Chains A and B, each alone.
Chain A
Amino acid sequence: MAGVELAIGNGLLGVGAGLALGLGAIGTGLAQQQIIAAVFGAIVEDPKQFGKGLFFILLPETLVIFGLVIAIMLMGRM
């Protein structure tokens, strides 16, 4: 039975890792879609805003990277 429990435990860890990464990616996407639309509006008005715009576009990418970090930490426990 211990083997089965271990397998279930590992499976759940895998699901957790997947959720961490996937939900992080969805979060990033949701945030970026609005930011990118706004930034492009700003760049059309004033191309000098490109640098600052890029800064804001890249802000939410941290979410998916944290997701990946958590996923790797979970995988390490398998």
Chain B
Amino acid sequence: MLKPERMSKLFVVGPKSTLPKIVSRLHELKIAHLIEHKKDEFDLCTPLENFEKLSSLLLQVRSITTHLNISSDQAKANIFKFKDLEKEIAKIKERVNKAIDEIKKTEDEISLISEQKKALKLMVLLNVHPEDFQKSNYIKSYLGYVDDPNIIKLEKITDRFEIYAAAEDKKTLIAVFIDSNFATKFEKILAESSFSDVDTSITSSLKGDAKDLFEKLLEKDEKLQVKLRTYQDKLKKIAEKHAHFLAEAEKFLSVEAEKAQIPLSFGSTREAFFLRCYLPKNDMEKTKEELMKSGNNKLYIVEEPLGEEEDIPVKLNNSKYIQNSEFFTKLFALPKYGEFDPSVLIAYTFPLFYGFMLGDVIYGLVTFALFYYLKKKFPVGKQFFNMMLAASMGAIIFGFLYGEFAGLELYHFWIERTHDFSTLMMISILAGIVHVNFGLILGFILEYNHHGLMKAANSKLSWIILQIGGVLFLGSLLKMLTVSKPLFYAGVFLFVLAVLMLLKGEGFIGVMEIPSILTHIMSYARLMAVGLASVFIAVMVNDLITFLFHKGILFWPLALISLLIGHTFNIALGILSPSLHSIRLHYVEFFSKFYQGGGKDYEPFGAEKQKSLI
């Protein structure tokens, strides 16, 4: 439970004729984490022969499903015959493509018409017509907006021009026709008056009165919209009719393509293939048998020893409740193979710390209801919400111990949080001492397993000795406690011994880090601090409400508003702050004693990746 599942490594060799069967079996078993073969004296294996056909068909199906907005996530695994599938998909593809082409064509036409309409509308305003803007060698035409038409003194250039103007919004719309000999000079003036051009080339194909043309375009536009809708409906109908089939086909094909492609991770000789994979030790014998059966006993399967430096994939092995706290473990980093899996510890201490900090029956009930709702609404975050539900339970239990109900202390049972600061602090620090030393013991065991007793004692046990020595020696030096002379000297001895051990075990850095043990333990004072902040905000809100309540009935609505806003705010803080601080105590103070993480996830071939928040 405290360690990830034990793994084994298998080496499988077989004739290439058995390859398809072995791949299928592996995919069904969903147990083997395959190790990719790197090309050495042995080449990579080639994909199964149908790979190209499968992947090209898969590509076609995916393009159709993207167009039709069909998702294959929920599709059932179905088995199809490749030939039938190919035919059916070709048929659907033709229909879909036809509809899509028509839609695109219609959409293009509609957008052209809308541009034309815009230009025509302007021409109607100026009482000019599309034909006026036809390209000519003698006359140049302009349509567009200027800020101030008075700047344009055309008379100074020539008298061979015509100008139409109309005010629109803050700008002025102008149309100018001018002898093309003077065009260059005129364009200079236009540039100075920040002329913005309207494209008239799109209407150059139109002939006739601008107003009539505009009406005609409106009609045409309506017809096109109807046409567009018909084709969109058609596409929708195709989607509805074939959604089921397409989703299943996509799923089937992607699984088959995955299978056909996987031999690329195997090694091969001329006649044989070989593969290596990790799998849980418990499943090894059964898997061996299954594979032998699928390979008609023509396989050679052997277990290879696990190397010390190998990057072995990690499969966490926890009971149902503790699986929830794997979320927090993974959020930090997956443990390495051989490391402790801290999930089981977080599963109990996270709610404990959270409860100790929030410690309020009403707040706990509210957060419980909230996270229950969120869990139903967003199943992706189930693990996290389950942990928060456990944490809310912790808050309710501590709430009863403190006798706190939304900041009101209804009865006095254990600690009165608004007064017994020092008791709270003592408990917090005590929790710190236990938690930190527990982490050190775990670190000691880990070091002992990997590097032997001396290294473990020097780098982990030394910290525990340091604490005992420090308390006796520094504690009495600072007059925080009184001890007898021999005990004091024992303290000095232990302290010096621990420093020397650290110097040996962790080097100079270790000695530099000595104060950190104190700060790490003191850091648990946040268990008290965060809780106090929450209580005092609640008390203040309650005081305000009582004050308003006694002021008279006119102030009662105000009291109600302060009640809602104040406590909602405090609950929001009460979710954020205790959970962050509780998890931080694990990540910073606890993990640093024994945990590194950085393991590789166990991803067995054939298993679907689970969706999660991280």
B418 to chain A, nearest CB (A): 13
Across-interface contacts of A54 in B (CB, < 8 A): 331, 580, 583-584, 587
Contact-size category for B: 20 to 34
Q: How long is the Cα–Cα vector from A51 to B584 in the complex, in angstroms?
A: 10
Which residue from B333, B422, B525, B581 sits with its C-beta under 8 Å from A58? B581
Q: How long is the Cα–Cα vector from A76 to B422 in the complex, in angstroms?
A: 9
B334 to chain A, nearest CB (A): 10
Q: How long is the Cα–Cα vector from A66 to B529 in the complex, in angstroms?
A: 9
Across-interface contacts of A59 in B (CB, < 8 A): 588
Task: Say yes or no: B523 contacts A55, CB within 8 Å.
Answer: no
B217 within 8 A of partner (CB): no
B522 within 8 A of partner (CB): yes
B79 within 8 A of partner (CB): no
Across-interface contacts of B333 in A (CB, < 8 A): 51-52
Which residue from A52, A61, A62 sits with its C-beta under 8 Å from B519? A62
Q: How long is the Cα–Cα vector from A52 to B614 in the complex, in angstroms?
A: 12
Task: Say yes or no: A66 contacts B525, CB within 8 Å.
Answer: yes
In the complex formed, the residue of A with least CB distance to B592 is A55
Contact with B along A28-68 (1 / 0, CB 8 A): 00000000000000000000101110110011011001101
Task: Say yes or no: B587 contacts A61, CB within 8 Å.
Answer: no
Across-interface contacts of A51 in B (CB, < 8 A): 330-333, 587, 614
Task: Say yes or no: B584 contacts A69, CB within 8 Å.
Answer: no
Task: Say yes or no: A61 contacts B581, CB within 8 Å.
Answer: yes
In the complex formed, the residue of A with least CB distance to B589 is A62
Task: Say yes or no: B588 contacts A69, CB within 8 Å.
Answer: no
Task: Say yes or no: A55 contacts B425, CB within 8 Å.
Answer: no
Task: Say yes or no: B425 contacts A72, CB within 8 Å.
Answer: yes
Task: Say yes or no: A65 contacts B529, CB within 8 Å.
Answer: yes
Which residue from B422, B519, B588, B614 sits with its C-beta under 8 Å from A55? B588
Q: Given A55-B332, A58-B580 in contact, is the A50-B523 Cβ separation under 8 Å?
A: no
Task: Say yes or no: B332 contacts A65, CB within 8 Å.
Answer: no
B227 within 8 A of partner (CB): no
Q: How long is the Cα–Cα vector from A50 to B580 in the complex, in angstroms?
A: 13
A residues 6-41 touching B (CB-CB < 8 Å): none
Q: Given A72-B421, A76-B421 in contact, is the A65-B525 Cβ separation under 8 Å?
A: yes
Which residue from A48, A58, A61, A66 sits with its C-beta under 8 Å from B522? A66
Task: Say yes or no: B614 contacts A50, CB within 8 Å.
Answer: yes
Across-interface contacts of A68 in B (CB, < 8 A): 525, 529, 532
Task: Say yes or no: A55 contacts B525, CB within 8 Å.
Answer: no
Task: Say yes or no: B523 contacts A65, CB within 8 Å.
Answer: yes
Across-interface contacts of B529 in A (CB, < 8 A): 65, 68-69
Across-interface contacts of A58 in B (CB, < 8 A): 580-581, 584, 587-588
B526 within 8 A of partner (CB): yes
Across-interface contacts of A48 in B (CB, < 8 A): 614
The 4 closest A-B pairs by CB, nearest first: A51-B331, A58-B584, A51-B332, A65-B526
Q: A48-B614, A65-B529 are in contact. List 18 more A-B contacts (CB 8 A).
A: A50-B331, A51-B330, A51-B331, A52-B333, A54-B331, A54-B587, A55-B584, A55-B588, A58-B580, A58-B581, A58-B588, A61-B526, A62-B523, A66-B525, A69-B529, A72-B422, A75-B421, A76-B422
